Each structure stands twice: as structure tokens, then as C-alpha cells.
Structure 1
Amino acid sequence: MTRTRPLTPFELAHFDRNSQLGNVPKAEVWLYIGSEVRGEIDLDVLRLVLAELAAGHALLRSVVLGEGSDLRFEMREDYQPPLEVRDGGEDEYRKVVNTEQDWRGGLFKGYVIRGEDSSRVVIVAHHGICDGRSMFPLLGELWERYSAHLAGSPLPLSDSDLELPDGVDAQLANTVAEAEVDAFVGQLAAMTQATDMAMPAPAQLPLDGDGVGDPRGRFTLQSIELNPEDSAAVVEAARAHGFSVNSLISGAALMAVRGEIEADAAPAMMLIGHCADVRSELSPPIGGETLLNCVGGVPTPVFVSADADPSELAKMVEVGVRGGIDARFPALILRALSRGLDPVAAGMPAILPTLGLSNVGRLQAYPIPAELELVRNFVYAMGPGMPPAMTFYTIGDRLTIQVEYDTAEHSHAKMARVTEALREQLRALCGIAA
């Protein structure tokens, strides 16, 4: 049984700032996910549920030992995830997501943040061991177990994750041949040289932050929460245009950001860094119930003029993302980066995107117990040096789009304009209500 193992290069990049892979800083980022509810939370039951989650997922009950780039996971069967209870509502939640967590004490914990009218139940895990595709199911499991305890019929402990899974980059070595990686690295080098000669750097949102950030919390978001009717309208509009919801939102997002870029009306090269799940590339494939960070990426360059048609931009995104996935770009880049790139080939992955975009997809509504009333679900992950990002997900029949940013670099006022511009683009594209 695998009870301890070294971190892979991909995992090291999330724990050691000197081991950065690719264009977006990953070290010391935590993933916060939870539900805001009305009603009384049974803290004793919640503590028990957190322990059950750790018992069923090896990485949740592990610690990281070692120094620098010599780090290893060690599984600890007696790990009890801490549960912090705080008062303060939204402001306190912002403090939590801006707190520098001590990952050497453990990689998983919980919070209950009590406000005047509602409470937030938050679970937190280091992004080096999880992604949105595995944390959303974990939140669903939390509520299933919590509800079962309240009903007097506790669920049995899971025995599906008794040992440490290998890092995704190590698992990809079983399905991605070294010859494929060699050819891919050659293509990267050629693309880097061609880009240096012919293509401008991606346009970026101008910096208007004060370098320090909002004292209430440097990292924050603004969100668009659609009702079921408008959520369905987004899906129908995408189908009517013949592309995915991911592409539709990407086209709208490009126009929303383009309005803030200091350039003339001529096309500006903008780069979306699309998150892509590589679980299906593994052998055997793993599902979202296996807690592991399996996020690769597809860089999608699009030239955007000030008066571009967002539906045409969406079509370009559709072609770019589909081409990248068909070419196995997310799996190949993970293998190439973990193996190591020469300076020429490393030039292309080092380009900072204009915008990060993460599509978690559609998920079933969570089984919130009858004693509680659901207000909303939420997720957040942001760290220093990360570009503005948009995360969107549909839980049950409600679509949520989050605009996430660092206030040290980008002001609330500017990102509010981006959020409202995105809302207006969706109204025009999908006919949703104001």
C-alpha cells in the first residue's frame, strides 16, 4: 500500500514557488468551496463528517514533509480535519479566503462562518491535491453524509481510496508516449520562434490597483447568478448557434474584457487560458470522486476588435479549444512541463494569458437536509500573480459565473464594469432578463 511518496513535478509547482510550471503561478493556492444556508448547523455532526471525508480520500488525510523541492506526501490515518467557527458573514468569509493557510499541519479543513441571517459551511483543501472537478463532488458527499447522520442512518465509510494516488503527470506517463512528448516539444519550440517574429504579446487588462489591495481582502470576486429560466436560455442560445456554453461565455467574456483594454478599435490579440480536465486521458480513467488535481490547459488566442461580434468570437474559441483537446494538448503539456523544457520550447507556455477561464460544468443539486434552506453554493481559488479569471458552473438548474481578481492589481470599479459588460453580452446573446 502506498502510504508515502514524493511529490511529482506538477504537484511541486503547487507547493514550491521555485518549481513553477507554465505561465500561471500555482504555489500556495487553496481551493474553498461550500454552501450558504439558513438554519442551525450541528457542529458535532459536521466534525464527524469532515473526519469521514478524510477517511475516504487519502490525500485529505495526508501531510507534506520535507524542504524545498524535496517534498513527499505521508498519509496519516489519525488525521482529524480542524473545524473553525467564526462570526461575521460575508466579511469574515473574505478574510478566510485571504488567509495564508499552514499546509504543513494538514491539507484539509473546514469552517462555519455565521452571519445574521445565514451561515457558510466551507471546506478547504490545498489546490495541489484537488481541483474543482473533485471538490464539487466532495461538497456533495459532505451534504449526503451530514443528511444521513441527521436521519439516524450514517453512511458507511468509503474504502475506494485507501492509498495515495499518483500525481496526474506521473499517471499520464502510462498513456502518453515519450515520442509524442518529443514531437510536441519540437512543435512548442517552433511555435515560440514563430511567435517571437510574427505575433504580439497578448493584450492585458491595464493595472489600476494600488499594489496592496482591498484591506477587507486582497483576493475577491463578483458574480452573476442566473435563475433557472435564464440559465436554460444560455444553454438554448449556445445550441442555436451550434457551439458549447463554454464557447458562448468565452465570446461574451472576451468582449467584456476588450472594453477595458487600452487599444484602438483594431483587433487586439487576447489569450484565454482554458482549464481542461485530463482525467479521461488516464488509464484507467478516474472520475471526479477521486480527489486529485487533474487540471491541464488549452491556450486559445483570438484577435478581438472593439466592435467584434461575440458569437463569431465564440465560434473561434470553439475551434481553438476543440483543436487543442483533439491534439491532446492538455495531457502533452503536463507531461512536457513535468519532464522539463529547454529555454526555447519553454517560451510558449510562459506567455501570460489575458484571462483564465474554468468551466466546471453541470452538477446535480446537493441533498441539503430539510432543516436547512440553501441560499447559494460557491467556490474560490486565487493567488498572487494570477491573471483575472472567470469560473462558471451549473448546480441543479442555476448557472453561476464568477469574475475573480486580485485587488492589488485590478480595482473593484474596473472589474464591476467587466462584470456588468459580461451581463450585457449575455442579455444580448441569450435574451435573458435584466
Structure 2
Amino acid sequence: MESESVTTPFGRRPMSLALLLKQRRGEAMAAGTTRNKWKLFRSVCEARAGLGVTDRALTVLDALLSFYPEDDLSSEKGLVVFPSNTQLSLRARGMAAATLRRHLAVLVEAGLISRKDSPNGKRYVRRGRAGGIDEAYGFSLAPLLARATEIEATAAGIAADRQMLRATKERLTICRRDIAKLIAAAVEEAVPGAWERVSCLFHALLERIPKAATLENLPPLLEELETLRLSIINTLESHEKMRMASTSESQFERHIQNSHPESLSESEPGLETEQEEQADRNHQPGTKPSKDSLEAQADGGEGPPFAVRTRAGKPKSFPLAMVLQACPDIADYGPGGAIGSWRDLMTAVIVVRKMLHVSPSAYEQACSVMGPENAATVMACILQRGGCITSAGGYLRDLTRRAERGEFALGPMLMALLRAKSSAEDDCKRINVA
């Protein structure tokens, strides 16, 4: 619906081109658009930083929504509310009139509401003989409904970022604890190595932890700490293997040769083994794995070491390129219709979760057990197999329980989707040739 005219402000408030454009955008929306007003308000609260509104302005918006008589905002019905200043102030927790006007102006400027002023500037409604509303003057909620999709997408992105940041902080805390205790164990057991140098490197990394952690400054530091932890583990394992080999040789007078040593040079404790460096190169973004490589990774056979779990026992995700190749449908729900990073995938999964009626508690439990990346991958697989799954929420909870018992592996699920896709492509080629 689109109005044939515009509403100019009453009194000394000037008209501007920006105000005209906001009015037109707010009044133009697809027919049949509807949203639950309180769920939409929750999304506005979630996306507050991206919309440029304050918490006091949200209090005023909450009060305005309470004057709308129904729970669902609909483009087919009038969206104008017309409370008096006294009643609006009462529902806004007793906000003063001057403060109320200021925050109403913030909501108008943010494009969440618009004014529909009467000839004398008063807010009122004119009803017909049947009791229906013929004309209403006050504040229009049409801009809020028109931007519902945009607001929900912004809120989903912010929620995904917050969840990923929390998971990153947890991984950083565990990594710090692991490194500190591993270094202490190495010194106590008198394991050969430049442990003083490793300790200095560890403390230097800790000093770089920012006070205001974000998704931009925290992951690179976490990657360095995880590399250091893996190097320490390799050194300790190498020492233990050499000790066991020496003990075995003295007991049985046999020489045991290890053809795949994993030791690190004592003068270079921060370096990874050649196999791990190759794994890191395969993890570089933009590198698309081959079909044989993907099959080997998912089945747990030979090939690049993309295991579901690291040597330290922590969940590890599969490459994003492999996930997108197995589950191409998830890309339609990413920002701008594409997925270029794990953050984009998690943003898309939040939208898909709501669409498949998966409860927040079920998804949060999956993230806690499998890790955010693996939980997002499972949701992408569920979307890809949507026609075969009756209850997505129940299926996700069942997989989470199996993962807690160590009975669920993500590789076979991805492999099945890759094979199904490959089979479909082969059938299409044969049809085209015929």
C-alpha cells in the first residue's frame, strides 16, 4: 500500500527531503505484511545499536505499541495510534513531557515511526456511523512494519556475533589454562626444552589480550595461543614416546624405530610439524578442496588432516568450503544471499532456525556440545534434507544427545549429502547427453 499524499509537520517543525523519503518508504510495503508487535519490538531491542536508537527511545516505542489494539501489526489495517501526552507519559514510566518529545523525535529520525499530524496538531480519531475508523491522526507504526525484515536480519546478525564472541572467549580461557598447566608439568617433569622462552612467549601473548574484545581483534590472538598449545603438546608427546621406546629397548633388548616422528626442535618450540603446516595451508580461506579430498576428510581416511576432533580432544569444524558444497541451500539465507565466512553461516542459521521452528534452547545446547561451527553445520544439513525430516527441533536434540555420548560424527552426514549431490549431477549429465 502506498499513500497518494504526504503528511507535513504541524507548527514550526520544518519539512525536509529526508522526512519525505522516510514517509514514502514507511508507507510502501507488500500487501499482507504482518508481524507480532512484541516479537518485532524484541528484534528492535536486539538491533538497537544498528538502528541508532537509545534505550529511553525504546521505552517510548514500547508505550506506543501498547496503544495498538491488536497483537499483530498488519498492512491491511490502520497503523496509526493517537494517545494523549498524559496517557503516553504514564505508559512510558512517567517520562516528562519534554523528554517524551525528544525521544519521539529520535524514533522519527531513526525511521521507526512517522507523524501524521491533524490540521490543528492534535491527536484524535474520526469514526464513521458503523463505529469504524475513518481517519486517525497521531503516530504511524507503518515504518516499523515496513522495515520488519531488515530489522530481523540485523538482530539475527548481532545475535550470531554475540554467540560467536562468547564461544571465542571460552576457547581463549581454556587455551590459557591448558598452556599454563602444560608448561608447569613440563618443568616439573624436567622435559628437555626451552621452557623459559616458551613461558615468555606465552606471557607476551597474554599481554596482548584486549580489554574490549571483539570478533576482529580476538580470533587472531586465539589462533596464536592454540598454535603454541599444539607445539607444547607435540613436544611432550615426543618426549614420552622417546622415553617409552628407551624403556622398552632396555627391557626387551629390541630396537623400536618410529618412522613418523612428531618431535619439535628444542631451539624452536613455537614451530609446527610439517604435517600440521600442510593442514593449516589447506585451511586457508578461498581454497576449494577436491572431491577426493572431501571424501577422505569426511570418512576419516587418508588426506589432509581435517578431523572432527583435534588431538587435544576439542571439537573441530570441517572446512567452510566443504560445508557449502554439501549444503548449498543455506547460502540463500546468508547476508545478501551469499556466505563468505563462518559468521555469515551463523547469521543464516539463526534465520533458518526460526523458519524450521527449532527452539533457542535446542540450538544453544547443540552449540554447547558440538561447538558453534559444528552446530551451524548440522543446521545447514537439516535444511538441505528438509523434506526427509519431520521435526527439525527433535532431530537436532537427538543428534546433540548422541554427540554428548560420543555416538555422532558429522563426517558421514556431510559425505552422504556430497554423494547425493554428485549422483544428481551425474544423472543430469546423462540426461543432457541423451
TM-score, normalization by structure 1:
0.26
- Identify the structure with the greater strand proportion: 1
Q: Which has the larger radius of gyration?
A: 2
Between Structure 1 and Structure 2, the one with more helix by share is: 2
Larger RCO (CA under 8 A, 6+ residues apart): 1
Calculate the TM-score normalised by the size of structure 2.
Answer: 0.26
